């Protein structure tokens, strides 16, 4: 997997918008804060419902607590 700056590194200031778009549309295996991104399905989201986790704010602990597994399945 390339790095997000690859189109710029390869083409400098002459990079075209379609080159950046093509790079992102083929990006997969990119680890982000919510999950592993895969943009190849054309949705331009990179994530699916399999990356969803329900959370609840615990004011007493001043933190978030998971209330589901990935994909939204109950614990």
Report pLDDT digits (tens) over 24-67: 898 898 888 888 899 999 888 999 888 889 999 999 999 999 99
Q: What is the mean pLDDT of residues 63-75?
A: 93
Q: Looking at the predicted structure, is the pLDDT value of residue 19 above 80?
A: yes
- Residue labelled with tokens 């978030």: 64
What pLDDT is attached to residue 15? 84
27, 1 in Cβ contact below 8 A? yes
Write out the H or E segment, with its range, that includes residue 17: helix 17-25
pTM over the 0.85 mark: no
Give the alpha-carbon dihedral of 35, 37, 38, 43, to 10 degrees: 100
């Amino acid at each position: 997997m390339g790095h997000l700056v690859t189109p710029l590194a390869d083409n400098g200031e002459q990079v075209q918008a379609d080159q950046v778009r093509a790079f992102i549309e083929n990006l997969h295996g990119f680890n982000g804060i919510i999950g592993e991104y895969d943009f190849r399905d054309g949705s331009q989201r990179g994530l699916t419902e399999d990356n969803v986790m329900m959370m609840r704010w615990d004011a007493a602990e001043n933190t978030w607590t998971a209330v589901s597994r990935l994909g939204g399945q109950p614990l």
